[in-house]
Structure formats: C-alpha cells, structure tokens
C-alpha cells in the first residue's frame, strides 16, 4: 500500500517509454493498475465469507463443474460485494485527478 504520489514518476517514465502519453489506453491502464489491488482485496473478503459447504452441496446436487458452482452459487451470493467493489473502484478512479493531469498532457 504505497501512496499514489510516490508512483507518479515511475509511471510517467513507463508511459513515455511505451509511448502511451496522451492516450486513452495509457490513462485506462494506470487507473486499472491503481484500482486492481483495492478490488481484489475487497472481493476476497466477500468471497471468503461464502461458506464452502454451499459449494460442496452444489457439487453433490448436480453441478458438473466448478464453473457451474461459480456461476450459480458463488456469483449470486457475492453480488452485493461486486456492486460495492464496483462503486469503490469507480469513486477512487473518479477522484484521482493527478494521473490524468500527468499522463494526458495535451488534448485527448
């Protein structure tokens, strides 16, 4: 958990090296790179709260693969956590003006 300001110079140098300054792709990559740890941390807490016995019961009751357990059991139970995570990630990206100012120097 480092402050975003300490990452400004390395991210600027990396974006200039890959010629991603003044592009939507560069700005999207930076916001994704900064928001992904928060999203993983929040979602892990929500998914860890789902009892493993429900997954085992789904396998006994006829779920043939782990993808079916994920689709029909885990994702519906984690839907509130996914919504909260989406809101937090959106707000953290919306509030972060510093990287938009550094990466989008010109008109995009």
Note down the domain range covering 42: 8-103
108 assigned to some structural domain:
no
20-43 tens-digit pLDDT: 998 889 999 999 998 999 999 999
The 8 Å CB, 24+ separation contacts for 25-32 are 26/103, 27/99, 27/100, 27/103, 27/104, 27/108, 30/99, 30/103, 31/93, 31/96, 31/99
- The number of domains in the chain is 1
Check whether 107 has a pLDDT greater than 60: no
Residue 3 in domain:
no
Question: Which pair of tokens denotes residue 8?
Answer: 């400004």
Q: Is residue 2 part of a domain?
A: no
pLDDT of amino acid 55: 93
Q: What per-residue confidence (pLDDT) applies to 106?
A: 61
Per-residue pLDDT tens over the stretch 40-61: 999 999 999 999 999 999 999 9
Residue 20 is predicted with a pLDDT of 92
> Residue 27 burial (CB < 10 Å; 0-12/13-18/19+)?
buried
Alpha carbons 16 and 29: distance in angstroms, whole number: 13
Read off the pLDDT band of 1 (50, 70, 90). low
């Amino acid at each position: 958990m480092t402050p975003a300001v300490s990452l400004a110079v390395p991210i600027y140098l990396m974006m200039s090296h890959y010629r991603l300054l003044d592009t939507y792709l560069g700005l999207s990559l930076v916001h994704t790179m900064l928001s992904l740890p928060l999203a993983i941390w929040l979602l892990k807490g929500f998914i860890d709260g789902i009892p493993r016995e429900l997954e085992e019961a789904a396998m006994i009751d006829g779920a043939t693969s782990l993808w079916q357990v994920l689709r029909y059991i885990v994702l519906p139970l984690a839907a509130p956590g996914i919504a909260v995570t989406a809101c937090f990630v959106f707000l953290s990206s919306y509030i972060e003006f510093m990287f938009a100012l550094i990466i989008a120097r010109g008109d995009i």
